[in-house]
A and B are shown apart, each in its own frame.
Chain A
Amino acid sequence: MRELKLMKGNEALAESAIRAGCDAYFGYPITPQSEVLEYLSREANQRTGMVILQAESEVASINMVYGAAGTGKKVMTSSSSPGISLMQEGISYIACAELPCLLVNVNRGGPGLGTIQPAQGDYFQSVKGGGHGDYKLIVLAPSTVQEMSDFVELSFELAFKYRNPVMILTDGALGQMMEKVELNPQKERKHVELEWATTGRKNGNGRVITSLHLKSEQMEQINIRLQKKYREIEKNEIRYEAVNCDDADYIIVAYGLVARICHKAAELARAKGIKVGVFRPITLFPFPYKELFENVKDKKGILDVEMNAGQMVEDVRLAVEGKVQVEFHGRMGGVVPSPEEILEKLEEKYLGGSK
């Protein structure tokens, strides 16, 4: 039995970073994720010697992550939407230089300065490559405080396995809400010498961390290697959850916080005799296209629900290739949909209105 605690999502994530043996965190305050930096500032260094540095900006944070990740250490940063936008150049460099690290986006409502309330408007930015060039982050979308905690260690595993940045895409509500959470035991922080890391020249020539390849043929080869890696990730790392999909007539597709609300909506629907299941992608990249299709191919329809204007729904449509009707319901600007509202939309789209 793991240690049980009642914690805020942001704090559970921070605690799990300490326990995962994370070596360094570089970050900048922004609502609704400042608890991560605050919690780590309070707890981390004295317990494990983990480096905690409040940077002068998100631009500096992500470049500190780039530098530290280049030494092969376990490194992370966290921010919320506008801050993550500022980091995009650095994230592109990290992806090209193939540095493992954990990025956390506690998504808030946008665009612009927007609001500090929860939202999912950063799906495209996270999943389709928010910075310049062709690259992919591995994107994990927790829907509980427990997953906010569990995904930290998983992220580091995946980051080092593929030498790729991993993003936990969560939102302001999950970051702020308190739930019980089972924590992993403390892992030792240990230095592992990696053959690509810059830790001072060993035998042979100096090692270089770079994303610069001036000859186009060479740059194309780098791209080919990256794309090959992404295909490998798509093959091995798809995670999803399908609840009550087998006998369902309708499937609600949602990720993160919204999926939980959709479970309640499905419950309400079944109480009314409407068979509804919920399909929740856990990895947003790689997206479970085939798995989703297998779960919905013989259904009467899909309702995709998001806290944005309709972003993941594009992947849902790609997954079903027009073979199943896909409807969308979204709330924007930090508004969270209610279970009743979701059921009403489902009935409206597929059953001619509420019974």
Chain B
Amino acid sequence: MNEKKTLDDQHYEKIIAEESICTQDHVVYEPPKSAMYETPMHYCPGCGHGVVHRLLAEVIEEMGIIQDVIGVAPVGCSVLAYNYLNIDMSEAAHGRASAVATGIKRVLPEKLVFSYQGDGDLAAIGTAETLHTCNRGENILIIFINNGIYGMTGGQMAPTTLANMKSTTSPFGRDVATMGSPLKMTDLVAQLPGTYYVTRHSVHKAGNVRKLKKAIVKSFEYQKEKKGTCFIEVVSNCPSNWKMTPVESNKWLEENMLPFYPLGDIKTPNQKEN
């Protein structure tokens, strides 16, 4: 065993033994304690879902809104989000998360409701529900995870799959002439008067993670003020179905996804209201 240890391992073991740095005083990061279950996730290594789940849990704890939040997770990789987020949640049929969230919010207008949807769900089968929910300006937060592929069913083409990008159903690359162009749902919903705050983020770098967290906080604040629909797209990865290592997938995301889906706010409340 010993000879298999790297120099790094030996180095840290020595420090731990000698200086006993593993004390509460030295903790720099802990997972959320109450809004999240202590359980392994089913997500593939390197997948962005885990990070976004954790951010949601952090925000819910830090804002002290655990008793007010109701989440909706539709069919897709994240349909089991309620196994990780320890909050009241509803599963939804494929594409119907924003309709389910509308139903909840309309009868419990003082609660904070969010949906957590993938690209197939939100931008293909649920396009009508997404547009109309945003158009009615439902006071909910829609979190839209866009990794350009159907993850749960094994890597088929999504409405957001990039031009020429390969998937199991576009094995020679997405041919926009016959398969249509990738759909920029976030830019689309930003056109609707019902949306109040529309923004695009990623979690592939620490700085981006911090920015997303701020956007989630803002969105819940706006929801409390009944400002309208908040819509956050998270450009994410799918190492398994992109057939890349996590590191490669983040690099690919930066080089290919972000030029087409540029990060940043698309619609913000005007200055006066702020």
Interface residues of chain A, those whose CB is within 8 Å of chain B, are: 23-24, 26, 51, 53, 55-57, 59-61, 63-71, 73, 75, 89-90, 93, 97, 198-202, 205-212
A23 to B108, alpha carbons, bound, how many Å? 10
**B residues bordering A, Cβ < 8 Å?**
37, 66-70, 72, 79-80, 82, 85-93, 96, 99-104, 106-108, 111, 128-129, 131-132
Can you identify 5 A-B contacts, CB atoms within 8 angstroms?
A: A56-B129, A60-B132, A69-B103, A70-B90, A93-B93
Question: Is there an interface contact between A212 and B67, defined as CB atoms closer than 8 Å?
Answer: no
Query: Which of B69, B80, B102, B111 is in CB contact (< 8 Å) with A64?
Result: B102
Inter-chain contact B107/A66, CB cutoff 8 Å: no
Cross-chain contact A208 with B92 (CB below 8 angstroms): no
A60 x B99 contact (CB < 8 A):
yes
A70 near B104 with CB under 8 A, answer: yes
Query: Is the CB–CB distance between A67 and B66 below 8 Å?
Result: no
| Leading 6 A-B pairs by shortest Cβ distance | A67-B103, A67-B100, A64-B103, A68-B103, A63-B99, A63-B96
Q: How far is the CA of A73 from the CA of B105 in the complex (A)?
A: 12
Complexed CA–CA distance, A208 and B104 (Å): 13
Q: Are A64 and B100 in contact (CB under 8 A)?
A: yes
Evaluate contact between B99 and A201: CB separation under 8 angstroms: no
Partner of B93, one of A56, A90, A205: A90
Residues of chain A with a CB closer than 8 A to B90's CB: 66-67, 70, 198, 208-210
Bound complex: CA of A202 vs CA of B91, how far in Å? Answer: 19
CB-based contact B88/A201 at 8 Å: yes
Beyond A63-B96, A71-B107, A89-B93, whether A206 also contacts B102 by CB under 8 A is no
Taking a contact as CB atoms under 8 Å apart, the answer to whether A201 and B93 are in contact is no
Most buried by B among A24, A75, A207, A211: A207
Chain B residues in 8 Å Cβ range of A198: 70, 88-90, 104
Provide the residues of chain B in CB contact with A70, threshold 8 Å: 90, 100, 103-104
Cβ contact of A24, chosen from B66, B68, B88, B107, cutoff 8 A = B107
Contacts of A68 in B (CB 8 A): 103-104, 106-107
Given contacts A51-B107, A63-B100, A64-B102, contact A212 B132 (CB under 8 A): no
Bound state CA distance, A207 and B82, in angstroms? 9
Task: State A72–B151 Cα separation when bound (angstroms).
Answer: 33
Residue pair B129, A67 in contact (C-beta under 8 Å): no
Among A53, A66, A211, contact of B100 (Cβ-Cβ < 8 Å): A66
Q: Is the CB of B128 within 8 A of A199?
A: no
Are B67 and A53 in contact, with the CB atoms below 8 A? no
Given known A-B contacts A60-B129, A90-B93, A212-B80, A199 and B103 have beta carbons under 8 A apart:
no
What is the count of residue pairs linking A and B with beta-carbon distances less than 8 angstroms?
Answer: 126
Query: When chains A and B are docked, how far (Å) is the Cα of A26 from the Cα of B132?
Result: 14
Indicate which residue in A56, A90, A200 contacts B88 across the interface (CB closer than 8 Å). A200
Specify the main secondary structure of chain B where it touches its partner: mixed
A90 to B90, CA, bound (A): 13
The answer to whether A59 touches B132 (Cβ under 8 A) is: no
What chain A residues lie within 8 Å of B37 (beta carbons)? Answer: 205
Q: Which of B87, B91, B103 contacts A211 (CB 8 A)?
A: B91
Which residues of B have CB within 8 Å of A208? 82, 88-91
A211–B103 Cα gap in the complex (Å)? 17
Residue of A nearest to B85 (CB): A206
Q: How far is the CA of A89 from the CA of B89 in the complex (A)?
A: 20
Do the beta carbons of B93 and A67 come within 8 Å of each other? no
B103 touches which of A26, A56, A205 (Cβ 8 Å) = A26
Shortest CB distance A104–B (Å): 17
Cβ-defined contact, A23 with B93, below 8 A = no
**Pick the contact of B106 from A53, A90, A206 — CB < 8 Å?**
A53
Shortest A73–chain B CB gap in Å is 5
Q: Please name all residues of chain B whose beta carbon is closer than 8 Å to the beta carbon of A67 when the two chains form the complex.
A: 72, 90, 92, 99-104
Say yes or no: B102 contacts A201, CB within 8 Å: no
Q: Which chain B residue shows the least CB distance to A210? A: B91
- Kindly list chain A residues whose C-beta atoms are within 8 Å of the C-beta of B85: 206
A56 B79 Cβ-Cβ under 8 A: no
Contact status A200-B128, CB under 8 Å:
no
A65 partner residues in chain B, CB cutoff 8 A: 103
Q: How far is the CB of B35 from chain A (nearest CB, A)?
A: 8
CB-CB nearest in chain B for A52: B106
- How far apart sit A27 and B46, CA to CA, in the bound complex (Å)? 42
**Interface hub of A70, A97, A211 (most chain B Cβ within 10 A):** A70
CB–CB A56/B106 < 8 A: no
Q: Name the distance in Å between B141's Cβ and chain A's nearest Cβ.
A: 15
In the complex, which residue of chain B has the Cβ closest to the Cβ of A66? B100
Cross-chain contact B88 with A66 (CB below 8 angstroms): no
CA distance A132 to B135 in the complex (A): 31
- Tell me the minimal C-beta distance from A192 to chain B in angstroms: 13
By the criterion CB–CB under 8 Å, are A206 and B87 in contact? yes
Q: Are A200 and B111 in contact (CB under 8 A)?
A: yes
Instruction: Note all chain A residues with C-beta closer than 8 A to B69.
Output: 200-201
B108 touches A24 (CB 8 A): no
* Residues on A with beta carbons closer than 8 Å to the beta carbon of B108: 71, 199-200
State whether A57 and B93 are in contact (beta carbons under 8 Å apart), knowing that A68-B104, A199-B88 are contacts in the complex.
no
Cross-chain contact B82 with A53 (CB below 8 angstroms): no
From B66, B70, B79, B106, give the contact of A199 (CB < 8 A).
B70
Report if A56-B96 is in contact (Cβ < 8 Å); known contacts: A71-B104, A198-B70, A212-B79.
no
Tell me if B86 and A206 are in contact (CB < 8 A).
yes
Complex contact A75–B87 (CB within 8 A)? no
The distance from the CB of A81 to the nearest CB of chain B, in whole angstroms, is 21
Min CB distance A269 to B, Å, is 50
| Measured CA separation A57–B104 after assembly (Å) | 17
